[in-house]
Amino acid sequence: MTKPLDAIFFDIDDTLFSTTVFADKARRAAVDSMIRAGLRTDRTTALRELEEVLAEFTSNYGNHFDKVVDRLPAEASQGLNKAVLVAAGVVAYHDTKWRELQVHDDVYEVLKWLAGTQLIRGIISAGITVKQAEKLVRLQLVEFMTPSAVFFTDQIGFSKANPKLYRRILQRMRLDPSRCLYVGDNPTHDIDPCNQEGWHTVRIRRSGKHATEDGRTTAQWEIRDFFELQAILRREFALE
């Protein structure tokens, strides 16, 4: 007996691409660039400070590299222009970001396949709206999504841990949760609230910081790549 399905929604970070690996590469490139610009420290020390700044001020804080310079001993930047050091970090970070930001091949293949079906294809993503929107564009996924089904938490007014976020979106879309599927990597922000709202849920456990965490509930299905998602859609929902 296959189940009816009207819509599938995706998380972005560590679901459609490896945010964790990508951010790590970009941070290393940034630190190396600051050292080349004259910062007197070693990569390990600078990276450790950067990780601490991220932990203390969150990844959406705007002045990470300033803080790294501030936290190192004064001799590290003596006689150097701080703005230039920071710019060296920022430029290398962004260069790496634009170069590395791409979806896994299986994600691209399966989203392209989905775009040829009648399913509504959407995004529900948390974070700074412009940054998340930019990722979607850079990842070249906009063409595969249903334009009216792209949602960012800041625009809705609820965080992802709150099941009302998912309820509100389906109200707006006039969709029934029992005919919707959510795909995400975070057990407490993606899977638990959707389970509570009566959605179908798929947890992707490929990499990323949430791969080893557990939530209150478990996803209906667990996958390692999007080809496994495709198999579920064919088998359980008769999607062709």
Identify which of residues 32 and 106 has a Cβ nearer to Mg ion in the complex.
Answer: 106
Identify which of residues 16 and 76 has a Cβ nearer to Mg ion in the complex.
Answer: 16
Q: How far is the CB of 11 from Mg ion (least distance, A)?
A: 4
> Which of 5, 7, 14, 31: binder of Mg ion (CB under 5 A)?
14
Identify which of residues 10 and 144 has a Cβ nearer to Mg ion in the complex.
Answer: 10
- Chain-centroid distance, C-alpha 187: 14
Determine phi and psi for 96, rounding to 5 degrees.
Answer: -65, -40
Identify which of residues 96 and 153 has a Cβ nearer to Mg ion in the complex.
Answer: 153
Query: Is residue 197 close enough to count as binding Mg ion by CB under 5 A?
Result: no
> Which of 5, 8, 13, 68: binder of Mg ion (CB under 5 A)?
13
Query: Is residue 192 close enough to count as binding Mg ion by CB under 5 A?
Result: no
Q: How far is the CB of 122 from Mg ion (least distance, A)?
A: 15
**Listed ranges 14-22, 110-118, 140-148, 165-173: which one lies at the site for Mg ion (CB under 5 A):** 14-22
Residues with Cβ within 8 Å of 78's Cβ and at least 6 positions away in sequence, in order, are: 40
Say what the alpha-carbon torsion angle 57, 63, 65, 68 is, to the nearest 10 degrees. -50
> Which of 49, 185, 192, 197: binder of Mg ion (CB under 5 A)?
185
Output DSSP code: residue 141. -
Question: Distance between CA 111 and CA 89 in Å, rounded?
Answer: 34
Q: By the 8 A CB rule, do 229 and 10 touch?
A: no
Q: How far is the CB of 22 from Mg ion (least distance, A)?
A: 13
Size of the site for Mg ion (CB under 5 A): 5
Q: How far is the CB of 23 from Mg ion (least distance, A)?
A: 12
* End-to-end CA gap in the chain: 16
Identify which of residues 37 and 128 has a Cβ nearer to Mg ion in the complex.
Answer: 128
SS3 content of the chain, % helix, strand, coil (to 5): 55, 10, 35
- Burial class, 233, CB count within 10 angstroms (exposed 0-12 / middle 13-18 / buried 19+): buried
Positions touching Mg ion (CB under 5 A) are 11, 13-14, 185-186
